[in-house]
Amino acid sequence: MAKLKSLAKHQKKSVLNKAIDFFIKSIYHAYFVGGYVRDTTLGLKPVDIDIVVEGNAVKAAKALNLKLKGKLCIYEEFGTASIITEAERIDLASARVEKYSSPAKLPHVYPSTIIEDLNRRDFTINAMVMSISKEDFGEIFDPFNGLKDIKKGLIRVLHKNSFNDDPTRIFRALRYKNRFGFKIEKKTKILMKEAIDKRMIQQLSGQRILNEIKLIFSEKKYQETIKDLSDLLIYKIKKKDLELLPLLGPNRIYLYLSKLDTDGFPLKTEEREIMQDLNKIGSTISRLEKASTNSTICNILSPISDQIIEIIPLIRQELKGKINTYSKLKKIKPFVKGNDLKKLGVRQNRKFKNLLRKMLDLQLDKNIKSKKEAIQYLRNMKIHE
């Protein structure tokens, strides 16, 4: 395992080095951008490598991938491409070259397309580029003073309309704040509140909101961000649900979603079922605490999906015994099946189903100990009346 890890680390370094080598020698002027510049400045390991290429990024990606031999995904209509290697993901985007772009050797003039590109970004800490070209390698272009904000630990928008232009930035700001332990800059906070008050988040599609929520839950500090959203009255969550989240493992996002209006969210049927089970987990637990017979335990738990049942003892340790009992009980084969009732002349209606369940309950509670006893019981019941 340790060997594998060090191998991956080695590969990662070499992917990055190969990319740098490629751009230093190539005709393209290219820059690291966004999270890559931010994270390396912070001394952190960047999640992925974002590169802006002056010129055709798709062509550059094709040429680079001859060296990296990764999986190349091309998005021709956006002029972007991604290279996915085992250890690393590189995203490349195009910035048009201008006719008056400076000749090599002269100090590089940042083309307005790079400036335009940075102008469209979310926060100052994400709006810097670092050159990966021979003549000015490592030079940082930081028109919004992102480096200063990194030092001060501030999340700051580039202009006053930022949150209205793209309300997903509200989620992003809170995510970065908690990931890096930064603060939202004073004016940015006011602009954010104004956008929230104007119900800008409600303008987003369910898909985009769901993406942001997934990103929040993929972070270590997700609880802080969920609390911030609640404090900002975006998605209010009760204290007890907030405390429950860490106990739920990968299902925690579904508990959260179950508390929101998710009508427009693209969720699968299985996901909605998990959400339903989680929504009533509190009442399931209290019913289970009161349950004193095998049949009641089974009737409470049988409609609930297995992965949610597994969570119950994590929330209430005392219920471990009852959950173990249930896993044994659910393997028990019923003495009485549908065919037995048919032979006794019972018609298939609602009563039929209830009768099967009643017989199983009697068996689980050991009030009936054999098939023979069960059939005798049914005969004595005068079931046809």
Q: Using CB under 6 A as the criterion, which residues of the chain lie in contact with ligand ATP when the complex forms?
A: 34-35, 47-48, 50, 121-122, 126, 166, 168-169
CA distance 147 to 372: 82
Provide the residue type at 118 as one letter.
L
Spatial contact of 88 and 74, defined as CB atoms under 8 Å apart: no
The residue of the chain with the least Cβ separation from ligand ATP equals 35
CB of 91 to Mg ion, least distance (A): 7
Residue 166 interacts with, from Mg ion, ligand ATP, none (CB under 5-8 Å by kind): ligand ATP
Helix (H) or strand (E) holding 165: helix 162-165
CB of 35 to ligand ATP, least distance (A): 2
CB of 122 to ligand ATP, least distance (A): 4
Closer to Mg ion by Cβ: residue 130 or 274: 130
Residue 142 interacts with, from ligand ATP, Mg ion, none (CB under 5-8 Å by kind): none
- Residue 84 pairs with which residues in a beta bridge? 71, 89
Helix axes 168-180, 222-231, angle to 10 degrees: 130
CA distance 382 to 379: 6
Does 219 bind Mg ion (CB under 5 A)? Our answer is no
Does 35 bind Mg ion (CB under 5 A)? Our answer is yes
- Residue 157 pairs with which residues in a beta bridge? 123
Q: Within its chain, how far is the Cα of 23 from the centroid?
A: 33
Does 93 bind Mg ion (CB under 5 A)? Our answer is no
Closer to Mg ion by Cβ: residue 32 or 326: 32
Spatial contact of 225 and 219, defined as CB atoms under 8 Å apart: yes
Does 340 bind Mg ion (CB under 5 A)? Our answer is no
By rule CB under 5 A, what count of residues binds Mg ion? 2
Closer to ligand ATP by Cβ: residue 52 or 355: 52
Closer to ligand ATP by Cβ: residue 113 or 168: 168
Strand 129-131 versus strand 140-141 pairing type: antiparallel
Residue 225 interacts with, from Mg ion, ligand ATP, none (CB under 5-8 Å by kind): none
Tokens of 162: 């930022």
CB of 48 to ligand ATP, least distance (A): 6
Does 48 bind Mg ion (CB under 5 A)? Our answer is yes
Bin 366: left if φ > 0, else alpha if -120 < ψ < 50, else beta.
Answer: left
Which residues of this protein are in contact with Mg ion, per CB under 5 A?
35, 48
